[in-house]
Amino acid sequence: MGNILGVQLKGFVEKLKKQVTSYWPNKSGFKDNKGDEFRIKSNELRVSAHTWNVGGELPSEDLDIRDWLDVDYPADIYVFGFQEIIPLEAGYVIGSEDTRPIPIWENIIRKTLNNIQPVNTILESDSDTEVALCTSNDSSTTDSKENVEDSFTDSKSQYVKIVSKQMVGIFITIWVHRSLRKHIQNVDVSTVGVGKKGFVGNKGSVSVSMSIYQTNFCFLCTHLTSGERDIDIAKRNADVQEIYKRTCFNSMSEDALPKSIMDQELQLKLGGAFDGWTEGVLNFPPTYKYEPNSDIYYGKDPKVGRRTPAWCDRILSYGKGIRQISYKRAQIRFSDHRPVSASYLMEVKAFPLRKTTARPYI
């Protein structure tokens, strides 16, 4: 299990409690200090998560990824996690970061997303109210600001990029339906390297935290140690614990926003690195390792050497209000791995107010 994309969410119930003076017993609304009623609305967004180890290969501009994106069932949010987006040779890992593949992959994603029919599932609010947005400042780190929402200049795009971040060979990019962009705030990025000497980014994680309406999402893309030996399993579990400990979001908000994975109520207990996480049923064939540009597993030819096929490309979720509706792999021969996708319906909560001075994430 070397390549993991994690999806997590948590509602800001405690933050909402601090914004009002009394809590209604039926848990459907609040009153402010003037006695005005505020009711929480909830709905589901469709989130499509994707992970792919591309083996350091540079794609062509016309690479067809429609099968991976499941374009017949459009989502509101698309999360893409890549591993080995560049070769993990010493010159790439130790030297300056090679960003050449990033614009190519982003253009492929942009073109594919904007050729499908999107679904508009913005939460409804009372006719005389507006949905309240978080009032905090943008909490993006310096690194992530350079990669945030540079596609908003294209007013015709149905989907827009919210954030992209690369750490050596690990790359995550998140895209949303344009109608959602004003409801996204507090975008922040955290990178943790656990590779060579325990800190180099050839292995590790890139995590993105953001709030959509009044629900917080955290997306994690990891590349972990592979192998079936006891020493490999121990190293993999230790790396997950290190990611858990060192992931930090630099929120400058006074609101109760998460500053770490722990703040988001993630629990990784001894005895299993992913205790508490949920995964769909693995009803597809192993995703690794394939002969180049082939549907034949590596090692089927005894002259090459034997290698056991493995399910090392996985997508996990953690939190309440998550309902998984698909989990599958795509038949794209570009890499020695096959890409994997998972679709979810995720409950989000909105807090309608009569007036708001909140500043949306734009």
Measured between alpha carbons, how far is 217 from 12 in angstroms, rounded to an integer? 10
Structure pTM? Answer: 0.80
Which domains does the chain show, CATH number per domain? 3-353 (3.60.10.10)
pLDDT of residue 147: 60
pLDDT of residue 229: 87
pLDDT of residue 271: 33
pLDDT of residue 257: 64
pLDDT of residue 256: 56
Q: What are 137's two structure tokens?
A: 């400042």
Helix (H) or strand (E) holding 246: helix 230-246
pLDDT of residue 43: 85
The 8-class DSSP code of residue 180 comes to G
Measured between alpha carbons, how far is 302 from 56 in angstroms, rounded to an integer? 26
The sheet carrying 184-193 orders its strands as 184-193, 204-212, 215-223, 3-11, 313-318
What is the mean pLDDT of each successive set of 10 residues along the chain, which is 362 residues long? Answer: 68 36 34 52 89 95 94 93 87 73 97 78 38 30 45 69 95 95 93 77 88 90 88 89 88 60 40 73 94 86 74 91 94 95 91 49 41
Distance of CA 25 to the CA centre of its chain: 35
- Residue of 3, 163, 175 whose CA lies nearest to 82: 3
* Helix (H/G/I), strand (E/B), else coil: 134: coil
Q: What are 122's two structure tokens?
A: 């913005």
Measured between alpha carbons, how far is 183 from 360 in angstroms, rounded to an integer? 6
- Residue of 359, 6, 19, 9 whose CA lies nearest to 185: 359
Measured between alpha carbons, how far is 98 from 85 in angstroms, rounded to an integer? 9
Length reported for the chain: 362
